Structure 1
């Protein structure tokens, strides 16, 4: 259970309203040798991605791309390549057409540099902001053998600090994790996505990348429409000087929305909810740490055989328990032969979504100081 957050009763400006018709969608793309099929899938489907989001959400979409590899001497080509926002799918396709998969050196890559460059893009203040990071390798400094920069990013960028800045700026991070390569580092990536109110989405084949991007955007834009109501609950406690317990606040928000019959779009994998990060003890513990050094000291690679919980759901006026029955990891990972697929369902708001919205509200108010 998350600890209580002490909040002083001081005047704070209201969280700025989002324009639900605006979407800024940035991609952080690992461009090392193993990522060719994912780059090709993004390039071939970028127009379809935009058209489906516009058709479903009636939105004004801008796109950005940050390619990344690694620092010398691990890679001699580039660390990052930054393409700031454009409203043209053709321009984005051109950037992707000029992108190739090569090199990489050691196992870790310049994830910290890529997220830092994403943070510095020209995000519209009132837009829904989403970063989709497509990766199969960890950042430097997470521990383990074969890291050419075991002390972390050689540029001195701490990805945990960057992720917290993203959350404060209202940028929701989705990690499209290319499995099985990324499986040992899944808990780390799930934790940093969760800190922004985002999600970790497992991929076993490139063909489903489009479904993930479209579905994730649809879910986040749907949740953004509910954020004003969440902000009211959070701000009421702030104004009263009450300590905020994230778990209790999430239950309160969920109960209120469930009693009103509120529904939302939800990205699902093989017709099942994605894992609720709040229900995974290792992920919850990592999400409370504030720098990469502490993460490294606590991190243990996943073996892929752990038992994880599915996202909780409630269909009535009372909130569901935070933990649902557990299932082995193998039951949650479909092989391409089993027909892995993603789609978007419209269903009653879940406790997992409520928790993610509370995380967003607290970050945007900059009151979630541990």
Structure 2
């Protein structure tokens, strides 16, 4: 079965990410060039720039193109504007704009079409920490339900260190759609391999994301630690229906200290071997270890989108790329695990 993919990038243009703008451009080029190297005619890209609700404009939409050169021109032309660093991002506007794009449908029995949204940001969306929104935007948590209905997978790339305050929320938001949360330092190598695997292999993006190794692929050299957020993520996915639910149950008491944000860990840590620390500002995000993904088919009863029909067999194994071993550990969330007060 042939696979095509539409990729929409929602890129934060607020002043708080100015220092990382060059690395973001390099990362996007690497990810999308890798995808285009597989089947250029089967890959389309769109770009949605967004800022905060305090700016005179919130989103700037570039529709799908199959030209890698055109997409790179859009990326190169982006300028980061000065502004308030403590802004609430217009993320709901950006993600809402992706639903207006001309996505290709899955209506061909001989072709499976993937739909991927990549959100890159370093801060909170409007309405996460308070219930006031001057622009009366839609509910972001409910908006993600539309992603599920339209088979759109969301990946959130978080720029540390400021994103660590909200990484549990973004993890849950992405998981709702079959996607994942990734620290920026690991995004290039993981997304490049997963997208290539989805195009060349028999598995969907959602299936491939569930095969990533939590420590080696997602947490590696970052401030993100899945053990600390897992119960909160489970709780949001199981019990929260709106942003108001999330604010009520999780975020009133979720304000880590400056020590946490800048590299310390202001939590009870049972893992003596875990030493969080922010990556150096000089880190080259393109030189992280590459990744192996091993494919085995996942059936419908596991709750992830599958390709139908599929030619995958029980003993299929496909080594995508790379030199660093990745275990077969899965990141499936047990939505019925007990929630205790310690996780809040």
User: Would you call these one fold, judging by a TM-score over 0.5?
Assistant: yes
Residue in 2 that maps onto 1:75: 55
Deviation at 1:327, TM superposition (A): 7.6
C-alpha spacing 1:89/1:99, structure 2 compared with 1 (3 Å): same
Under a length normalisation based on structure 1, what TM-score does the superposition of the two structures give?
0.63
C-alpha spacing 1:200/1:38, structure 2 compared with 1 (3 Å): same
Higher strand share: 1
Deviation at 1:225, TM superposition (A): 2.9
Deviation at 1:24, TM superposition (A): 0.7
Deviation at 1:116, TM superposition (A): 0.3
C-alpha spacing 1:43/1:166, structure 2 compared with 1 (3 Å): same
Aligned pairs, number: 281
C-alpha spacing 1:292/1:33, structure 2 compared with 1 (3 Å): same
Q: Distance in 1 between matches of 2:79 and 2:235?
A: 36
Question: Which stretch of the first structure deviates more once superposed, 328-337 or 84-93?
Answer: 328-337
- Alignment counterpart, residue 303 of structure 2, candidates 328, 347, 358: 358
- Alignment counterpart, residue 248 of structure 2, candidates 297, 315, 318: 297
Residue in 1 that maps onto 2:233: 283
Residue in 2 that maps onto 1:243: none
Deviations 1:232-264 (A, max 9, x none): xxxxxxxxxxxxxxxxxxxxxxxxxxxxxxx99
Q: 1:161-240 residue pairs with structure 2 within 5 A?
A: 161-204=142-185, 209-218=187-196, 221=199, 225-226=202-203
C-alpha spacing 1:21/1:39, structure 2 compared with 1 (3 Å): farther
Alpha-carbon RMSD across the aligned residues, in angstroms, is 4.0
Q: Distance in 2 between matches of 1:39 and 1:348?
A: 34
C-alpha spacing 1:283/1:356, structure 2 compared with 1 (3 Å): farther
Deviation at 1:128, TM superposition (A): 0.7
Check the 8 A contact 2:7/2:46 in 1, yes or no. Answer: yes
Check the 8 A contact 1:46/1:89 in 2, yes or no. Answer: no
Q: 1:1-370 residue pairs with structure 2 within 5 A?
A: 20-44=2-26, 46-56=28-38, 60-71=42-53, 74-76=54-56, 78-105=57-84, 106-126=86-106, 127-143=113-129, 150-152=131-133, 154-204=135-185, 209-218=187-196, 221=199, 225-226=202-203, 271-272=216-217, 280-288=230-238, 289-300=240-251, 301=254, 303=256, 305=265, 330-331=275-276, 335=280, 341=288, 343-347=290-294, 358-360=303-305
* 3-state SS of 1:187 partner: helix
Under a length normalisation based on structure 2, what TM-score does the superposition of the two structures give?
0.68
* 3-state SS of 1:142 partner: coil
Check the 8 A contact 2:160/2:183 in 1, yes or no. Answer: yes
Gaps of 5+ in 2: 107-112, 220-224, 307-344
Q: Distance in 1 between matches of 2:190 and 2:120?
A: 11
Check the 8 A contact 1:268/1:344 in 2, yes or no. Answer: no
